[in-house]
Structure 1
Amino acid sequence: MNLKKALAIGIFMGVAGQATAETTLRVASWLPPTHPQNAVVWPTWSKWVEEATEGRVKVAVEYGMGHPKTMFEIVEDGVADASFSYHGYVPGRFKLTQVVEQPLLGVNAEAASVAHWKIHQKYFTQANEHEGLEVIGLFTHGPGQIHLADPVSSLADLKGKKIRLGGGIQGEIGHRMGVTAVGAPAPKVYEMMQQGVIDGVFIPMGEQKSLRLKEVAKNVIALPGGMYLGSFSMFMNPDFLADLDPKDREAILNVSGEKLSAMAGKAWDAGDAEGLAAAQEAGVNITMVKDGDALSTEFANLAKGMDENFYAAAADRKVDGKAALSELREIARSYK
């Protein structure tokens, strides 16, 4: 074999090797593997990514990488390539994302998540609250409800009770109810309830199953539309994206955004349905409140003025909060 031919073969093999090389996109997750985020959302997106990049990018979910509030920094620093987290875990950094958490929206997580993404893209990107990250999806959990060890007959009965709150709007709701707020990541709630550290938690119905609350929180007040929705983002390291072949980078972004947001919201809705069924099967005492009931009216009165609080917070970011919230409600309530 002459030198010219050997060089040609070497170049060909190098190009072929690059064409078939796989890149692993490492996702840090902090919820248990059985949770819908890990059992449905990430696997579905992983399949989309692999198909869109023709197998050149594969997704691997990794666990035990820290508190959920640290996920933003973990991804920004490149310790992981992607993750998700709850905005309320980082008070002060995220104000605009509370637009979707406001009480009385009255829709499911899928509708809210689509509206969340659209409003973020239209109104909030310039505020750069996710600085250092590439936001690939925004979603909410389902309606936040009241899960308790012991029953209550009114919201006023919650005054002084130790309630785990995750931050964001639920913190303001808890303050208005006069509860004693206890902070902790969601995966710690079961242990805290079991040990009597807390009397209850504000959290969606799905956690009756995914976090096994049906064993320790045997009383639930389910308000119509819930008390609030919890805002989450899914995000990637911009340097990781920049290092990809442009066509793979575009492919990943094309299967993210609104499409990913809707899928995540839908998965969390399905988790709520499973949680309700699991709670009913376990004999949990569930008070299904209807519009116009005393508890519903009590909550509506308690929530008065919260819109105006958001407008003020948005103004600090130089954003028209009133227009953003009005449009979000319109998009979410008309979503089909």
Structure 2
Amino acid sequence: MIRRNFLKTAAAVGLGLTLSTSVMAETVMRVASWLPPTHPQNAVVWPTWGKWVEEATEGRVKIKIEYGMGHPKTMFELVEDGVVDASFSYHGYVPGRFKLTQVVEQPGLGVSAEAASIAHWRVNEKYFTKANEHDGLVLAALFTHGPGQIHMAKPIDSLSDLKGKKIRIGGGVQGEIGKRLGVTAVGAPAPKVYEMMQQGVIDGVFIPMGEQKTLRLKEVARNVVALPGGMYLGSFSMFLSPDFMDSLSEKDRKAVMSVSGEKLSALAGRAWDAGDAEGYVAAKEAGVNLNEVAADGAMAKEFKSLAKGMDDAWVSHVTDRGVDAKAALTELRSIARSYGK
């Protein structure tokens, strides 16, 4: 009897260890996303990184994308509170918390999202981490979307035509640009733009070309002004829950981070660049009125004059962060403009 009970106990322990090992082998990282499944972030970036994570952890960690989790500005809190294990969001949705990230959004950078994303990550690592703007999160990547352009229901002949127009503004540097243009700013997450344009709630939106396809703006924003280099870039981060990361073994934590950082930042920027290229093609095929402004064109000169001094204003705005913002901006521009050369 004693021996039989011992064997039963041993078997139960063995089964428990097997189940425990099985669970550990299939740890699922729940990723919250607020963009449609067809968007490059969900169709390319997360799945590619998920494969990297799975390979790096020898199959022990996998990812699962979940949709409909709320406004993009709540993603930071959802991950901080452990409701989900990972997400991404646009820093401009949380004004006040993220100020240093606007370093990469300043007008005039004139590079691809991939180049800007690489520079964004490197400069953050060198200059900004001590400011703890991503406190409560494990930062996995920093990236930007491509150049923000002007998408309108009706055509405009000059930037002054935008004065008084209702324009969806996503936050960040866009807000300052909107003020200088004299627009009536309307706040809303990007996925709501199509509906707002369709219903006439807004006259236009500042957003990258990729959204002509992914958000179907080609149907409602039939007039696009594409300034050389765009008006701005948009700063994003991908981030993980500290609790989730603590639940992993040290080996797997290191494995996850080994395929994150600069490598993941470059991937995201590259994917959003590709999305812009597809959006441009989709707009052309749909017959969208696309005004590609020359570098010496009137609107390009108008915007350059309007944006003058914005970078200095940003440097002054972040003095409370205790970092060398001017040096960071100079280095970011150097890294971004020399990337790939």
TM score, norm. by length of structure 2: 0.96
Residue identity in the other structure for 2:21: A
Q: Deviations over 1:37-94 (max 9, x none)?
A: 1111111111111111111111010011110000000110111110000000011111
5+ residue gaps, structure 1, are: none
Q: Is 2:115 the counterpart of 1:116?
A: no
Equivalent position of 1:247 in the other structure: 251
User: What's 1:60 paired with?
Assistant: 64
Q: What root-mean-square deviation, in Å, do the aligned CA atoms of Structure 1 and Structure 2 show?
A: 1.3
What are the superposed Cα offsets for residues 87-132 of structure 1, whole Å, 9 maximum, x if unpaired?
0001111100000000000001000001101111111111001111
> 1:110-259 maps to which residues of 2 (within 5 A)?
110-259=114-263
Counterpart secondary structure, 1:74: helix
Deviation digits for residues 5-54 of structure 1 (CA, Å, limit 9, x no counterpart): 66665555444443332111000000011111111111111111111111
Give the residue type in structure 1 aligned to 2:305.
N
**Which residues of structure 2 form unaligned runs of 5+?**
none
> How far has the Cα of 1:316 moved from its partner?
1.4
Q: Can you list the C-alpha shifts for 1:142-184, whole angstroms capped at 9, x where unaligned? A: 0000000111111111111100000000110010000000000
Q: Separation in 2 of the partners of 1:313 and 1:221?
A: 29
Tell me, yes or no, if structure 1 residue 46 matches structure 2 residue 50: yes
Q: Which residue number corresponds to residue 95 of structure 1?
A: 99
Cα shift at 1:291: 1.1
Q: 1:311 aligns with which of 312, 315, 335?
A: 315
Equivalent position amino acid for 1:250 in 2: K
Partner of 2:27: 23
SS at match of 1:34: coil
Q: Is the 8 A contact 1:314 1:320 kept in 2?
A: no
The one-letter amino acid of 1:289's match is V
Given residue 116 of structure 1, which amino acid in structure 2 is its aligned partner?
H
Q: Secondary structure at the match of 2:103?
A: helix
Select 1:286's aligned residue among 282, 290, 295: 290
Distance in 1 (alpha carbons) for counterparts of 2:4 and 2:330: 73
Identify which range, 50-59 or 98-107, moves more after superposition.
Answer: 50-59
After TM superposition, what 4+ stretches of structure 1 lie above 2 angstroms from structure 2? 1-21
Structure 1: which amino acid aligns with 2:318? A
Letter in structure 1 aligned against 2:20: Q
CA contact (8 A) 1:96 1:313 kept: no
Counterparts of 2:64 and 2:110, CA distance in 1? 35
Q: In 2, distance between residues paired with 1:331 and 1:20?
A: 45
User: Residue in 2 aligned with 1:37?
Assistant: 41
User: How does the TM-score come out when normalised to structure 1?
Assistant: 0.97
- What one-letter code is carried by the residue in structure 2 that aligns with 1:264? A
* Separation of aligned partners in 1, 2:261 and 2:325: 22
Q: Distance in 2 between matches of 1:111 and 1:274?
A: 19
- Paired with 1:197 and 1:3, the residues of 2 have a C-alpha distance of 73
SS at match of 2:29: strand
Per-residue deviation, 1:294: 1.1
Matches for 1:288-303 after TM superposition, within 5 Å: 288-303=292-307
Partner amino acid, structure 1, of 2:295: D
User: How much identity, in percent, do the aligned residues show?
Assistant: 72
After the TM superposition, which of the residue ranges 31-40 and 15-24 deviates more from structure 2?
15-24
